[in-house]
Amino acid sequence: MAVEPESIAEEVGIEAGDTLLGINEENIQDVFDYRYLIADEEITLAIRKANGEEWAIEIEKEYGEDLGLVFENSLMDELIRCRNKCLFCFIDQLPPNMRETVYFKDDDWRMSFLNGNYITLTNMAETDMDRLIKYHLSPINISIHATSKEIREHMLTNRFAGDIISQIKRLVEAGIEINGQIVLCKGINDGEVLDQTIRDLSAFIPHILSLTVVPVGISKFREGLASLKGFDKESSREVIDIIHSWQNYYLEKMKTRFVFAADEFYIKGEVPLPTYEEYEDFPVLDNGVGMATKFRHELLEALEQKDWSKVSQKPFKASIVTGCLTEDFMKECVQLLKEKCPSLTLEVYPVSNHFFGEEITVTGLLTGQDILRTLRQKENLGQVVLLAENMLKCGENILLDDYSIERLQEELRLPIVIVPNQGSLWLDQIIELKEKQI
């Protein structure tokens, strides 16, 4: 435990290395207990000093004022592991010999509130549900997949997974809002099952803020796992037809489209992406829903607002790495930029995913070795290589296969720049590089 300078904790004599034992004679399980208990104006802390002494410290402060204690683990507790064996789990499809941490299956309801993780509710004890409601942790993101008891139990390989409707009902009756997710598996929870799931969940509008439908990811490491098939052009269009039908219904009845499909369905189905307005403020952007439309909208606005007379006309060339799924989309964006700035040359290079398997086509799952394999075959990559920020491991300057950006730079003998996933910031970064002639 650390202590912030000039904080209440420092003022009352708490030091780095001390241990917080309790507040107001109550034990602390995690950060939610802590925040709840320190909110009052008068509190008593039980502290164990580094020398073993135990202090009772009485504090008077403003309501809600922070103490200035900093804990090693932001949750202040161990993560809750997933107890399911989902047919579609991507962690089960990872190659061997990766970092131990990447194989950890998180199904922690607390992290759903803190970080937006999707949870199944299957490992929540009664006390967990009570605490979630007590602290009003809202919204919560729930992996629903199907409302059919039998199909959800089958998909999660968990005989206790079928009671999802009553669990959702309990949450919404307590005022908890929900974002729902369906990982769609061809021949299992698509078609009539998807149609019924959307119908069942509509009963909870507006407490279910949104429902997103994303395709299952299938890597080449599925030996011993259930046989799954990816979505092609025809099956993607079938999914979009179901979703558009419900969107039209809900928009007329409830003034919301409610259910949204991942970009991948539109691109694979060769169906035009929805407009910016049709995404209704993008409730679940990080779930791969509407990212392309939002990026293009931001880019178009930024292109119109920029004063191009102040941009140097000195030639500049860069290479853009993308997944195969978004090759055409990125080329369209590059063309929009080229029309405004002819002296700028951006080459888009789609990278096939040999690491996870070629059915994985999204940009965010590209690896250093596959990027290197592709770019080594190209001539004149320009002055810099651009990688999207969602290729990096969270908080680290490395890719999923532990290739560091520095290593990739050395092997390509070119600087690598990480660019944002927001269209306007992406443009700003590229123009800045052009002006600096990096």
pLDDT tens per residue, range 13-22: 999 989 999 9
Give the pLDDT of residue 404. Answer: 94
Would you say residue 79 lies in a domain? Answer: no
Comparing 13-17, 168-172, 208-212, 284-288, the range with the smallest average pLDDT is: 284-288
Would you say residue 391 lies in a domain? Answer: yes
Would you say residue 420 lies in a domain? Answer: yes
Are 39 and 165 contained in the same domain? no
Are 283 and 303 contained in the same domain? no
The answer to whether residues 208 and 181 touch, using CB atoms and an 8 Å cutoff, is no
The values of phi and psi at residue 316, to 5°, are -150, 135
Give the pLDDT of residue 327. Answer: 97
Give the pLDDT of residue 233. Answer: 97
The pLDDT tens digits of the residues spanning 46-100 come to 999 988 999 999 999 998 899 999 988 878 888 889 999 999 999 999 998 887 7
Are 244 and 262 contained in the same domain? yes
Closest by alpha carbon to 32, among 101, 121, 132? 132
Give the pLDDT of residue 103. Answer: 85
Would you say residue 33 lies in a domain? Answer: yes
Return the CATH number at 381.
3.40.50
Q: How far apart are CA 61 and CA 43, in angstroms?
A: 9
The pLDDT tens digits of the residues spanning 379-423 come to 899 999 999 999 998 778 999 999 999 999 999 999 999 999 999
Are 116 and 250 contained in the same domain? yes
Among the candidates 238, 269, 288, a domain finishes at 288
Among the candidates 272, 288, 304, a domain finishes at 288
Are 282 and 381 contained in the same domain? no
Give the pLDDT of residue 271. Answer: 97
Q: Is it the case that residue 279 has pLDDT exceeding 90?
A: yes
Q: Is it the case that residue 349 has pLDDT exceeding 80?
A: yes
Give the pLDDT of residue 97. Answer: 81
Average pLDDT, the chain: 93
Comparing 29-33, 146-150, 393-397, 426-430, the range with the smallest average pLDDT is: 393-397
* Domains identified in the chain, total number: 3
Give the pLDDT of residue 396. Answer: 84
Q: How far is CA 271 from CA 106, 169, 263, 298, 433, in A?
A: 34, 35, 10, 21, 34
- One-letter-per-residue 3-state SS of the chain: CEECCCCHHHHCCCCCCCEEEEECCECCCCHHHHHHHHCCCEEEEEEECCCCCEEEEEEECCCCCCCCEECCCCCCCCCCECCCCCCCCCHHHCCCCCCHHHHCCECCHHHHHHHCCEECCCCCCHHHHHHHHHCCCCCEEEECCCCCHHHHHHHHCCCCCCCHHHHHHHHHHCCCCEEEEEEECCCCCCHHHHHHHHHHHHHHCCCEEEEEEEECCCCCCCCCCCCCCCCCHHHHHHHHHHHHHHHHHHHHHHCCCCEEECHHHHHHHCCCCCCCHHHCCCCCHHHCCCHHHHHHHHHHHHHHHCCHHHCCCCCEEEEEEEEHHHHHHHHHHHHHHHHHCCCEEEEEEEECCCCCCCCCCCHHHCCHHHHHHHHCCCCCCCCEEEEEHHHCCCCCCECCCCCEHHHHHHHHCCCEEEECCCHHHHHHHHHHHHHHCC
Are 95 and 59 contained in the same domain? no
Return the CATH number at 161.
3.80.30.10
The pLDDT tens digits of the residues spanning 291-347 come to 999 999 999 999 999 999 999 889 999 999 999 999 999 999 999 999 999 999 999
Are 223 and 161 contained in the same domain? yes
Q: How far apart are CA 75 and CA 155, in angstroms?
A: 29
Are 276 and 142 contained in the same domain? yes
- How confident is residue 286, by pLDDT bands cut at 50, 70 and 90? low
Give the pLDDT of residue 285. Answer: 64
Would you say residue 183 lies in a domain? Answer: yes
pLDDT, average across residues 166-182: 96
Q: Count CB neighbours of 125 within 10 A.
A: 9
- How confident is residue 230, by pLDDT bands cut at 50, 70 and 90? very high
Cα 120-126-130 angle, rounded to 5 deg: 95
Q: Is it the case that residue 27 has pLDDT exceeding 90?
A: no
Would you say residue 270 lies in a domain? Answer: yes
Are 37 and 148 contained in the same domain? no
Would you say residue 80 lies in a domain? Answer: no
Give the pLDDT of residue 322. Answer: 97
* Residue 335 lies in domain: 296-436
Are 312 and 280 contained in the same domain? no
Q: Is it the case that residue 140 has pLDDT exceeding 80?
A: yes
Q: Is it the case that residue 372 has pLDDT exceeding 80?
A: yes
Give the pLDDT of residue 305. Answer: 96
Are 17 and 47 contained in the same domain? yes
Among the candidates 241, 257, 288, a domain finishes at 288
Are 195 and 60 contained in the same domain? no
Would you say residue 283 lies in a domain? Answer: yes
98 vs 268, higher pLDDT? 268
Give the pLDDT of residue 339. Answer: 95
Comparing 235-239, 351-355, 396-400, 404-408, the range with the smallest average pLDDT is: 396-400
